[in-house]
Structure formats: structure tokens, C-alpha cells
């Protein structure tokens, strides 16, 4: 009965046969050809090494005893090279010690001579299975390395894009310290992610008026940052007439423009205010945002009542109405605006930071200069969170001049 080929793949495996005896070499070569291998022959180990310097094979079939370099010596050198072939060692000595030496030299299999062709076929069949398996693994590893390289390059591009987007987002924020006609403004900001859902600004509306807003979009990352950026652009003085439109109506306009394209129930809180630098009159309106703390010169901390100017967050009801409240700054009074990330953080042992703790710290730090006061609060919040911000934190401190004579101290409430 004939021996069927053991290699049936479209591309035949390449074998280097190393045998110093011509008759043996011819016989074994013929058997290998019959099994479907592409065979190259060498009469010595030295010639085989020279040939392998220029060529790659899948299998090396080598005799043990040859003039000059032996088969095990050839095997050791070949196995030390990158991507070595499968090695089948042939020898006329079936002693166990020879078997151990051959395997220790790096040979993958061992076949004593003389051998029955059917036995050689079985050994070759096992070799082909291992070679094909290794080839598949090599291809899979190559594909995996390519995918990892592409993924790494993509991640690097995304990281670069995120950093650039973060720089653009931060460019929307006001300077950490600025002055407006004897009024002083300081601010601090920290993001819980590369991109933040918080955005705020303080800017001149006219020579006598100041506009400010603080927006906090729920969530983190690119989606929240894009929403915050969009809302900030809607409130840009280039697009809104801050002199003629009240804060409550600005919130109404902002709420009507709010979009949640992914329909994930995303919403935002916002606080909008307008301040008369001459009289100290301030008009505020809130869409679910925490109301500011007022620190007067007498060492008291006041919070505006929630029902006076707080409406639904943006994105809840497109027809929501917003209220606004007006009050007058006293000479030397300070007003602290903040996002909920300033007081909703959790300490692993002591629990929530809390709004009451923020008030206590602000009151205790009242004698400090504005820059030192806000830095003190920022540092305390940072420490409470273990040095890693759990949520975006925005702090703005507006400081009235020491000499201020309001034209009146009326307090009124109106609907947008």
C-alpha cells in the first residue's frame, strides 16, 4: 500500500536535508518529495549553515554523525537563530544517551536508522501539524501586533486631540485673577477628566456692568465637554445681548437651545448673573445650580433662598420659566460661586465634604486676601478628595471694593 502525502496545503513546506552519505541522502530526499515537501540537500553541516544564511526553511532533517560538525552541533547553532525550523535528527545509534543528547541539543524529534518509511511518515505528520500550528500562531501574533500598533497610534492621536480640546476648553475660562473698575475677581478650576463638564466666565458687558455665568453639565468626558462648550458659545457676548436681556431670559433661551442628541437624559445646571459695578446691584438667575455664598465684612455668610431664583436644570423641560433675584453688594463684600463638585466629594473615612463645611471654611478664611482665600478653599477640597478630583471643581470669588455707595438696596423677584 502506498504512502499518501502528509502535506496537502497549497504551499509546500520547505525542508533542508543534511546527510553526508549520497545514497542515504537520495533515499530520504525521495521519501520527503513523495510526502509533498520542497527539499534542498546539503552534504555537510557547514554547507547547511552557509545555505541557511541566505534561506529560510520550515524543517531541518539532519544526520547525526558527519565529517566535521555533527548533527547536534548543527542543531544547537540553528536553534540559537531567530525563527528556527523544526529539527528531526536521524542516527544509526538508538542508545538512550544519544536520544537525550539529541533532544538537549534542541532537536524536536529523533528517529533511529534504518527506519520504516511509514514511521518516517508518522513523524513527518506530527512535525507538519506543529509547524502549521506555529505558522498560524505566528500569523495571529503578527496580526495582533499590527492591531496593537494601530490601536496605540489611534490612542496617541486621541490623547493628542483630547489635550488640544482641553487647552481649547481652558481658553474659555477667565484669567485666574482680574480686576474690573476696582472690583476684583479670582477663580480656580480643576477637571476630574481630561475634558470637563464645567465652564465659566466673567467679562465686561459695558464700562459699568459685568456679566458672569457658571455651567455644569452632568457627566464627564467628551460628551459633557462638547455640551458645555456649546452652551458657552450660546452665551457668548457676540451672540447674546447681555445689556438688554435679563439673566432669567438668558437661561430661558439657553434651555430652549439645549439638545440631548444621544437621548441619555443629559442635563446641565447653570447660574447667570449681571453686576452693576457702580451701584453694586447684582441680578442672579439659576437653572438648578447651587446659589452663591455672600461673605460680608462683619464675618457673616449668607445664602440666597432657593425659591427666589432657582428653576429646573437645563434639558429637563424646554418650556421651563426662570426667576431672578436682585440684591446689592456691601462695601468689601465677597460672593463665592461654585459648582457642586466643590462640596459633593466623598472622603473614604469622613464621608461627604458638604455645603456646610464649605461655608465654614469660607467664613474662617474671610480675613485672607482674595487669592489666598480661594486657594485655601481649593486646597481643602483637593485634600478631602485624596489628591484626585472626583468631579469638576469651579470656584469664583467676586470682591466688591472697600468703598461702595449703592444707589438703593431694593430687593425684587421677577419671572422670565
- Give the model confidence (pLDDT) of 79-134 as tens digits: 999 989 999 988 876 666 666 776 777 888 888 888 888 998 998 999 999 999 98
Q: Is residue 209 scored above 80 in pLDDT?
A: yes
71-79 helix and 96-104 helix, angle to the nearest 10 degrees = 30
Predicted confidence at residue 99, as pLDDT, reads: 67
Q: How confident is the model at residue 225 (pLDDT cuts 50, 70, 90)?
A: confident
Q: How confident is the model at residue 239 (pLDDT cuts 50, 70, 90)?
A: confident
Q: Give per-residue pLDDT as tens, 165-176.
A: 778 777 778 899
Residue 219: closest CA among 161, 252, 256, 260: 260
Q: Is residue 415 scored above 90 in pLDDT?
A: no
Q: How confident is the model at residue 408 (pLDDT cuts 50, 70, 90)?
A: very low
The answer to pTM > 0.85 is no
Quick one: average pLDDT of 12-27? 94
Q: Which DSSP category does 300 fall into?
A: -
Predicted confidence at residue 5, as pLDDT, reads: 62
Pairing outcome for strands 59-63 and 86-91: parallel
The C-alpha atoms of residue 385 and residue 391 are separated, in whole angstroms, by 10
| The domain defined by 14-141 carries CATH number 3.40.50.2300 | yes
The C-alpha atoms of residue 227 and residue 204 are separated, in whole angstroms, by 24
Quick one: average pLDDT of 255-279? 87
Q: CATH 3.60.40.10 spans which residues of the chain?
A: 172-415
Of the chain, the percentage scoring pLDDT greater than 90 comes to 59
Q: Which DSSP category does 74 fall into?
A: H
Query: Can you spell out the DSSP letters for 200-254?
Result: EEEEESSSSEEEEEEEEESS-HHHHHHHHHHHHHHT-TTTS-TTTS-HHHHHHHH
Q: How confident is the model at residue 385 (pLDDT cuts 50, 70, 90)?
A: confident
Least confident segment among 36-50, 112-126, 277-291? 112-126
Residue 301: closest CA among 334, 274, 331: 334
Kindly report the number of other CB atoms within 10 A of residue 178's CB atom.
14
Question: For residues 287 and 254, is the Cβ–Cβ distance under 8 A?
Answer: yes
Q: Is residue 346 scored above 80 in pLDDT?
A: yes
Architecture field, domain 172-415: 4-Layer Sandwich (3.60)
Q: How confident is the model at residue 412 (pLDDT cuts 50, 70, 90)?
A: very low
Q: How confident is the model at residue 37 (pLDDT cuts 50, 70, 90)?
A: very high
Q: How confident is the model at residue 262 (pLDDT cuts 50, 70, 90)?
A: low
Q: Is residue 388 scored above 90 in pLDDT?
A: no
Question: For residues 292 and 333, is the Cβ–Cβ distance under 8 A?
Answer: no
Quick one: average pLDDT of 134-138? 89
Question: What SS3 state is found at 13?
Answer: coil
Q: How confident is the model at residue 416 (pLDDT cuts 50, 70, 90)?
A: very low
Predicted confidence at residue 285, as pLDDT, reads: 95
Q: Is residue 297 scored above 90 in pLDDT?
A: no
Residues 59, 65, 68, 74, CA torsion sign: positive
The C-alpha atoms of residue 397 and residue 177 are separated, in whole angstroms, by 10
Residue written as cell 497610534?
A: 153
The C-alpha atoms of residue 198 and residue 225 are separated, in whole angstroms, by 8
Predicted confidence at residue 413, as pLDDT, reads: 44
Can you list the positions of beta strands (E) in 43-113?
59-63, 86-91, 109-112
Q: How confident is the model at residue 410 (pLDDT cuts 50, 70, 90)?
A: very low
Quick one: average pLDDT of 235-261? 90
Q: Is residue 10 scored above 60 in pLDDT?
A: no
Q: Record the cell numbers describing residue 315, joined without a space.
A: 434639558
Q: Give per-residue pLDDT as tens, 315-342.
A: 999 899 999 999 999 999 999 999 999 9
Question: Residue ranges of the alpha helices (H) in 258-340?
Answer: 306-309
Q: How confident is the model at residue 405 (pLDDT cuts 50, 70, 90)?
A: low
The C-alpha atoms of residue 322 and residue 287 are separated, in whole angstroms, by 7
The C-alpha atoms of residue 320 and residue 302 are separated, in whole angstroms, by 27
Question: For residues 413 and 319, is the Cβ–Cβ distance under 8 A?
Answer: no
Q: How confident is the model at residue 355 (pLDDT cuts 50, 70, 90)?
A: very high
Average pLDDT, the chain: 87
Residues 6+ apart with CB under 8 A from 72: 64, 89, 101, 102, 105, 107
DSSP-assigned beta bridge partners for residue 59: 15, 86
Q: How confident is the model at residue 74 (pLDDT cuts 50, 70, 90)?
A: very high
Question: Torsions phi, psi of 226, nearest 5?
Answer: -65, -40
Q: CATH 3.40.50.2300 spans which residues of the chain?
A: 14-141
Cis peptide before 306 (omega within 30 of 0): no
Amino acid at each position: 500500500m502506498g504512502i499518501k502525502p502528509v502535506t496537502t496545503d497549497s504551499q509546500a513546506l520547505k525542508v533542508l536535508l543534511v546527510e553526508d552519505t549520497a545514497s542515504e541522502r537520495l533515499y530520504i530526499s525521495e521519501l520527503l518529495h513523495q510526502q509533498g515537501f520542497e527539499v534542498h540537500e546539503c552534504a555537510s553541516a557547514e554547507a547547511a549553515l552557509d545555505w541557511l544564511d541566505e534561506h529560510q526553511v520550515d524543517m531541518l532533517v539532519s544526520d547525526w554523525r558527519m565529517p566535521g560538525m555533527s548533527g547536534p552541533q548543527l542543531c544547537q547553532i540553528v536553534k540559537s537563530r531567530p525563527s528556527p525550523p523544526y529539527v528531526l535528527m536521524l542516527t544509526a545509534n538508538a542508545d538512550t544517551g544519544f536520544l537525550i543528547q539529541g533532544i538537549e541539543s534542541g532537536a524536536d524529534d529523533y528517529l533511529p536508522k534504518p527506519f520504516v518509511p511509514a514511521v518516517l511518515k508518522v513523524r513527518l505528520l506530527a512535525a507538519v501539524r506543529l509547524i502549521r500550528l506555529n505558522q498560524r500562531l505566528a500569523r495571529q501574533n503578527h496580526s495582533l501586533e499590527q492591531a496593537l500598533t494601530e490601536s496605540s497610534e489611534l490612542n496617541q492621536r486621541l490623547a493628542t486631540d483630547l489635550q488640544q480640546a482641553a487647552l481649547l476648553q481652558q481658553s474659555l475660562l477667565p484669567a485666574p485673577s482680574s480686576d474690573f473698575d476696582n472690583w476684583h475677581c479670582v477663580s480656580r478650576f480643576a477637571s476630574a477628566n481630561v475634558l470637563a463638564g464645567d465652564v465659566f466666565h466673567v467679562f465686561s458687558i459695558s464700562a459699568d456692568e459685568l456679566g458672569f455665568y457658571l455651567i455644569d453639565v452632568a457627566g464627564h468626558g467628551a460628551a459633557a465637554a462638547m455640551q458645555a462648550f456649546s452652551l458657552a458659545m450660546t452665551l457668548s457676548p457676540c451672540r447674546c445681548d447681555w445689556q438688554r436681556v435679563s439673566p432669567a431670559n438668558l437661561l430661558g433661551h439657553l434651555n430652549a437651545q439645549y439638545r440631548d442628541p444621544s437621548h441619555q437624559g443629559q442635563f446641565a445646571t447653570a447660574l447667570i448673573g449681571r453686576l452693576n459695578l457702580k451701584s453694586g446691584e447684582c441680578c442672579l438667575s439659576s437653572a438648578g445650580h447651587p446659589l452663591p455664598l455672600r461673605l460680608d465684612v462683619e464675618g457673616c455668610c449668607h445664602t440666597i433662598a432657593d425659591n427666589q431664583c432657582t428653576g429646573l436644570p437645563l434639558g429637563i423641560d424646554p418650556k421651563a420659566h426662570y426667576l431672578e433675584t436682585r440684591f446689592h453688594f456691601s462695601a468689601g463684600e465677597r460672593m463665592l460661586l461654585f459648582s457642586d463638585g466643590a462640596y459633593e466629594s466623598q472622603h473614604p473615612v469622613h464621608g461627604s465634604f458638604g455645603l456646610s463645611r464649605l461655608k465654614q471654611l469660607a467664613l474662617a478664611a474671610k480675613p485672607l486676601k482674595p487669592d489666598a482665600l480661594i486657594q485655601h478653599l481649593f486646597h481643602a477640597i483637593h485634600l478631602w478628595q485624596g489628591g484626585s478630583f472626583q468631579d469638576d471643581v469651579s470656584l469664583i470669588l467676586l470682591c466688591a471694593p472697600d468703598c461702595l455707595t449703592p444707589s438703593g438696596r431694593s430687593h425684587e423677584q421677577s419671572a422670565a
